[in-house]
Homo-oligomer: A and B are copies of this chain.
Amino acid sequence: MSPSLNSPLPKHPPLAEDLVATLKDHFGSRFSQGESIRMQHGRDESVHEAAPPDAVFFARSTQEVADVVRLCHRQQVPIIPYGVGSSVEGHVLAIHGGITIDLAGMNRILATHNEDLDATVEAGVTRLQLNASLKGSGLFFPIDPGADASLGGMAATRASGTNAVRYGTMRDNVLGMTVVLADGKIIKTGGRARKSSAGYDLTRLLIGSEGTLGIITELTVKLHPIPEAMSAAVCAFPDVEAAVDTVIQTIQLGVPMARIELLDALTISAVNRHSHTTLRELPTLFFEFHGSPAAVSEQAQIVQGIAGGFGGQEFAWATHNEDRSRLWQARHDAYFACLQLKPGCRALPTDVCVPISRLAECIQATNEDISLVSIPIALFGHVGDGNFHLVVLVDPTSAADMHAAEWINERLVERALAMSGTCTGEHGIGIGKTRFMVREHGAEAIAVMRAIKTALDPTNLLNPGKVLPPGTAS
């Protein structure tokens, strides 16, 4: 085991002058030590304290990434890959200094194979950019974490979102990747075949590794045919339990929902204010149905029947594309809407995921905790997967707020783990959740992860301090 994983790196090793000179010489203004650029790359959407890198490199190609990594490797400089900075657990913070590689300029769509339902893109391509480029093809890329994240970043955090219940997560939707290793070597993983049993699944190992095992520079993703019919609806319920019971029964019946999202009353109230909607301020499910017109209508009928049985009100439908878009925009803005509940606050988003049979119980117990603290906490999420978020609104300068938020999160994670769930359904570990890793996986499994990290990045240069807890050797 490398000692470097166990003894923190020096916080801000100054970059060697010759390295800086070489990079400036090669890349001109695409290598920057400017204060504002460094600061901008030293934070994400999380409450974690900013930690700017020593410099930022704006990459344009896999070969450039490899070249810079090789130089950094030679001088043992940490490297942090950066997409659009929409992560929420401090993934991109340069807590040990080093050079951030900004991949946003690698935004070419390299190939689209409509007949094979796949596309190969550079890591900086965002999901909306990819979908815009697919206009007219009859295909779309479904994974939708809300933010217009880069596909490389989404792969690195194993992102998902509102329609994972039908289309899966990034784990399920990446066929292959190009990856730069810690020493600057370039590998290709996977390919374009729909399935393969040819050796270790490096693609899946790298998905969710948050830049700690390699830097994803290109990826081939699955595309899906745009369904002939798509219809969305909202339905208010007397209480959260009734809404959750509706979800559970829908999933258990195998209704192929495209989306099934819960927003609690506080979230709905925030959404109404932010998005000028007039939804009833009750726990509410947002549904989306995909399929042929007949299949959509049949699914809708089944789900309406289930919802009615649990006291759900009439479905309010959005069948036109613009109405659907408006509805989902409101859903996606829920996070920002909630932020406005407490002016000047920041949000600590939680992210547990539990087996669906435990979901009602988990939410109920969590609501009891929420009733014991005085900070506003909204609840919403991807309940079809058993995944939900709290948006815990804190004044980051208030020790009492931070303590309450911490208490809620700790209790929630413990509860989810006790229910065979996970501390993070889709946000990732970053620096925010490393302390839960041993609790979730056990010390021996963490030792295996650490052994893999050491095998691939023996001196801990790639995004150090993320994913794995600091701690004992394996």
Contacts and interface: CB of A to CB of B under 8 A. Distances in A.
A159 interface: yes
A248 interface: yes
A197 B427 contact: yes
Contacts of A115: 248, 252, 356-357
A148 interface: no
Contacts of A449: 199-200, 202
Q: Using C-beta atoms within 8 Å of the partner chain, give the interface range for chain A.
A: 35 or more
A3 to B, nearest CB: 16
Given A201-B204, A429-B199, A187 B357 contact: no
A205 B200 contact: yes
A424 B353 contact: no
Contacts of A188: 441-442, 445
A61 interface: no
Given A252-B225, A355-B192, A197 B448 contact: no
Interface stretch (A12-20, A44-52, A290-298, A316-324): A290-298
Contacts of A118: 355
A423 B193 CA distance: 10
Interface in A7-38: none
A142 to B, nearest CB: 12
A421 interface: yes
Interface in A426-474: 426-429, 433, 436-437, 440-442, 444-446, 448-449, 451-456, 467-468
A195 B169 contact: yes
A152 interface: no
Contact of A181 (B199, B208, B448, B467): B448
A422 B298 contact: no
Closest 10 CB pairs of A and B: A225-B254, A204-B204, A455-B455, A196-B422, A192-B420, A115-B357, A193-B353, A116-B355, A451-B455, A187-B445
